Amino acid sequence: MHIMEGFLPPAHAIAWAAASAPFLAWGLRSMGRSLQAYPERRMLLGVAAAFAFLLSALKLPSVTGSCSHPTGVGLGALLFGPAAMVPVGFVVLLFQALLLAHGGLTTLGANVFSMAIVGPFVSYGVFRAVAALGLSRTVAVFLAACLGDLATYITTSAQLAWAFPDPVGGFGASFAKFAGIFALTQLPIAISEGLLTVLVVNAMARFNAHELRLLPVMALAKGRAA
């Protein structure tokens, strides 16, 4: 989902940065307040950030014969709310832009928007919707992480299609092309991310029941997890 350095026209780069900045400020505030109120959550926030660091470094092979990576931000969004994952995703993307030439500073705003904003917010929304339907926590966590991951890659496809519409088919043709590269590749990887997130949430439910008792991920679908 990384749009490479310099591969968004300046107007797009600035617009995406401007769109992402308020979310980053909101996320930092929400994270700070949460840690002030519940200092015992510091460890789990660290685990959620570490999960994003680990997963976004793993480039996995996929059915389209190319490689892509999970994002790992769904887990933290379920635990601490979607805003808290904006700063985490920002740090991961900054690390990769500065040290790995993966993504870039000019495309940081757009990449933050897809991975650290759309992904976590979709995950959180899906989780709330599935939990409201009365399905088990396992199903809710799986769908949330899986669909959030896919949403990130669909967003990247739309961002590129918007910046580079096909000379004949316009936005639609271009979007189909980029989605073929990103979203299709991402399908099995998103399923893996959903499954992995279920495993981590199960471990947290077992080991950190006390710290998590007030969090929606534990409260909403409580008692239904097998």
Partner 1 sequence: MKSRTALIWAAIVLLTVLPLWFAAVPPAEPGSTAPEPFSGADGRAQQAITTIAPDYKPWFAPLFEPPSGEIASLLFALQAALGAGVIGFWLGTSVAREVRGKESAQDERAD
Closest separation between CB of residue 212 and partner 1, Å?
Answer: 12
DSSP string, 117-160: IIHHHHHHHHHHHHHHTT--HHHHHHHHHHHHHHHHHHHHHHHH
Closest separation between CB of residue 152 and partner 1, Å?
Answer: 12
Q: Which is nearer to partner 1, 37 or 99 (CB)?
A: 99
Closest separation between CB of residue 162 and partner 1, Å?
Answer: 12
Phi/psi for 89 (5° steps) reads -60, -35
Structure-token pair, residue 60: 């996995």
Name every residue whose Cβ is closer than 8 Å to that of residue 93 and which is 6 or more positions away in sequence: 2, 103, 108, 111, 112, 115, 116
Closest separation between CB of residue 30 and partner 1, Å?
Answer: 21
Q: Which is nearer to partner 1, 26 or 164 (CB)?
A: 164
Q: Which helix (H) or strand (E) holds 60?
A: strand 60-61
From CA 188, how far away is CA 114, in angstroms rounded? 19
Structure-token pair, residue 31: 């994270």
From CA 189, how far away is CA 203, in angstroms rounded? 21
Q: Which is nearer to partner 1, 100 or 219 (CB)?
A: 100
Q: Which is nearer to partner 1, 6 or 22 (CB)?
A: 6
Closest separation between CB of residue 185 and partner 1, Å?
Answer: 5
Q: Which is nearer to partner 1, 125 or 135 (CB)?
A: 135
Closest separation between CB of residue 214 and partner 1, Å?
Answer: 19
Q: Which is nearer to partner 1, 9 or 22 (CB)?
A: 9
